[in-house]
Amino acid sequence: RKEVEQDPGPFNVPEGATVAFNCTYSNSASQSFFWYRQDCRKEPKLLMSVYSSGNEDGRFTAQLNRASQYISLLIRDSKLSDSATYLCAVNLLTDSWGKFQFGAGTQVVVTP
Amino acid sequence: GAVVSQHPSRVICKSGTSVKIECRSLDFQATTMFWYRQFPKQSLMLMATSNEGSKATYEQGVEKDKFLINHASLTLSTLTVTSAHPEDSSFYICSASPASGNNEQFFGPGTRLTVL
């Protein structure tokens, strides 16, 4: 079983609609969580950190469910520019280096 | 967010040659940088953790003699792919975490290596 799993998609979303997807992690000791956005042939860019209380940044809302060991990302009022692959990252913080485990990504395609 | 640069952005080389990739943190100091490799349609795979002033820590299955890492200063880490072969062709990306942050990692723009 992979340490961090994501539905690869693609999620085909009409412009203006809402889309949500999850990322599950296997290590209960995981301590910090992030969502990244990666465009084709580009580097990942930090979208948002995921806090225990959940957090919102504009049209994006991230949630953490420690009991079920998953994080979620919800995108409201989808824009064409939201089309990308969304990677979740989990940090164990078991050492001072803070290594990340990445999911394989969820592809989102927003259509006109 | 913090800025990380990477050079070169693209390199094409012949089989058997060595390629050096530089990763720099531009507006913060990074005692630790990370090197990843990503094949098409696959996830980022951590290759090694680069530590300033000490030896890098390599992930299982990554040959330390093939992928030489030098973290010479608090803002620069280099990855050298030695005796490159076509199967080393990939997208190599570095990342770093500012000490003052929440452990988030910021990525360089990546280096696309093609070995002929």
CB contact under 8 A, B93 and A44: yes
The arithmetic mean of pLDDT across residues B31-36, rounded, is: 92
In sequence order, the β-bridge partners of residue B77 are B23
Give A53: exposed, middle or buried? Use CB within 10 Å, 0-12, 13-18, 19+: exposed
Mean pLDDT in each 10-residue stretch from start to end of chain A (112 residues)? 89 98 92 93 93 92 95 98 96 70 95 96
Q: Which site among A41, A45, A94, A100 would you substitute to test the B interface, given the most B Cβ atoms closer than 10 Å to its Cβ?
A: A100
How far CA A57 is from CA of A43, A48, A63, B37, B74, in Å, comes to 21, 8, 12, 29, 32
DSSP class of residue A3 equals S
Structure token digits, residue A21:
């997807």
**Residue B47 is which amino acid?**
M
Positive or negative: CA dihedral B7, A48, B46, B76: positive
Closest CA to B84 of B21, B9, B23: B21
Q: What pLDDT was estimated at residue B43?
A: 86
CA dist A62 and B62 (Å) reads 34
Q: What pLDDT was estimated at residue A97?
A: 60
Q: Residue A9 in 3-state DSSP?
A: coil
Q: Using CB atoms, which residue from A32, A42, A44 is nearest to B103?
A: A32
Q: Residue B71 in 3-state DSSP?
A: strand
B7 lies within 8 A of chain A by CB: no
Using an 8 Å CB-CB cutoff, list chain B residues near A100: 34, 46, 105
CA dist B42 and B44 (Å) reads 7
CB contact under 8 A, A98 and B44: no
A99 lies within 8 A of chain B by CB: yes
pLDDT of B11 > 80? The answer is: yes
B102 lies within 8 A of chain A by CB: yes
| In chain A, residues 66-85 whose CB comes closer than 8 Å to chain B | none
What phi and psi values does residue A3 have, to the nearest 5 degrees?
Answer: -70, -35
B51 lies within 8 A of chain A by CB: yes
Asked if B16 and B24 count as a contact pair (C-beta separation under 8 A), the reply is: no
- Per-residue pLDDT band for B1 (boundaries 50, 70, 90) equals low
In degrees, to the nearest 5, what angle opens at C-alpha A83 toward C-alphas A78 and A85?
Answer: 125
CB contact under 8 A, B93 and A46: no
